[in-house]
Structure 1
């Protein structure tokens, strides 16, 4: 039985970035392309910092490719692409008010309504606990 991988094999950086540029990057595809079982690939990128950095860089290449494609669609007039970019890159959305983001929001969570008999019982118990209660 072969020893488990402790780090990504040589050339992984170039290979993973090329996969990202071509839109083929996924954990399972990367593991297969590098000749690693998927569980070992996941273990390596979770526990070996240099390998994790290589994986993060490949994901950044993929993210940049997708953002560029989205940007091109937005510039060509695709309003949904423009809205998505504004939300993702700049935190803007038509669903939230613009302006002072230092507003305080208070939420009250009320319990469900009690039926009249339960309410009367609860009031009676509370009255009995009070000094001088019946």
Structure 2
């Protein structure tokens, strides 16, 4: 692990992470532990764990990788439940979370035609009659 000099702000009992901290963080984060649980299992406080994650990039990387493994396991289980197990609630959740699906009359909204009429501003009667009165050789309807 890379050593840093600035250890101010530590509130836990340990000043340095244990030698196997990266492996433990990876394993525990993949198992779903939150920061409080991770800190407890490493024998420190959440504040100290946060400081370690700041000071030792390899610890942050191990925790992030563990969380990604947990995310992948949960997503795979949910996806399999929706697609292979016929779990409608799981399918709806995935549609909402990953594809922005919203319940309701979506089909009606998608097929609606919208027509916008733009009306001219108010005109004086003289100006209006000039525009609609036939000119010179033009004839009206027979």
TM-score over 0.5 for the pair: yes
TM-score, structure 1 length as denominator? Answer: 0.56
Alignment of 1:75-94 (within 5 A): 75=83, 76-89=85-98, 91-94=99-102
The 2-side partners of 1:68 and 1:34 are apart by 29
Alpha-carbon contact 1:45-1:52 (below 8 Å) kept: yes
Structure-1 residue corresponding to 2:126: none
Which structure is higher in RCO with an 8 Å CA cutoff and minimum separation 6? Answer: 2
TM-score, structure 2 length as denominator? Answer: 0.53
Alpha-carbon contact 1:71-1:81 (below 8 Å) kept: yes
- The offset of 1:14, in angstroms, is 2.5
The 1-side partners of 2:14 and 2:40 are apart by 17
> What stretches of structure 1 move > 4 A for 4+ residues in a row?
none
Alpha-carbon contact 2:23-2:62 (below 8 Å) kept: no
Larger radius of gyration: 2
The 2-side partners of 1:3 and 1:29 are apart by 16
Structure-1 residue corresponding to 2:19: 10
SS in 2 for 1:4: coil
Across the aligned residues of Structure 1 and Structure 2, the Cα RMSD in angstroms comes to 3.0
Alpha-carbon contact 1:13-1:58 (below 8 Å) kept: no
- The offset of 1:70, in angstroms, is 0.9
Is 2:64 the partner of 1:53?
no
Structure-1 residue corresponding to 2:135: none
Count of residue pairs brought into register by the alignment: 96
| Structure 1 unaligned regions, length at least 5 | 101-134
| Structure 2 unaligned regions, length at least 5 | 1-11, 111-142
